[in-house]
Amino acid sequence: ILTGFHEAAMMCQSAFKYVYPNQHLSFKYTTVNGVNAF
């Protein structure tokens, strides 16, 4: 399972570079800022 997630992440990085060749890819974690209240 973990290998599949890694391969999917690598595929997404490659697709991003192909679609947006002039933009820098930066990773953001959604849990850094916490969860907003409803």
Specify if 21 maps to a domain: yes
Name the residue range of residue 9's domain. Answer: 1-32
* Per-residue tokens: 34: 């916490």
* Biggest CA pair distance of the chain: 37
For residue range 1-38, what is the model confidence (pLDDT) as tens digits? 778 888 988 998 899 999 999 998 887 666 655 566 65
Q: What does the alpha-carbon distance between residue 7 and residue 26 come to, in Å, rounded to a whole number?
A: 18
Domain count along the chain = 1
Residue 37 lies in a domain: no
What DSSP string runs through 1-38? Answer: -HHHHHHHHHHHHHHHHHH-TTS------TTSS-PPP-
Give the global pTM.
0.56
Residue 22 maps to a domain = yes
Chain centroid to CA 32: how far?
15
pLDDT (0 to 100) of residue 37: 61
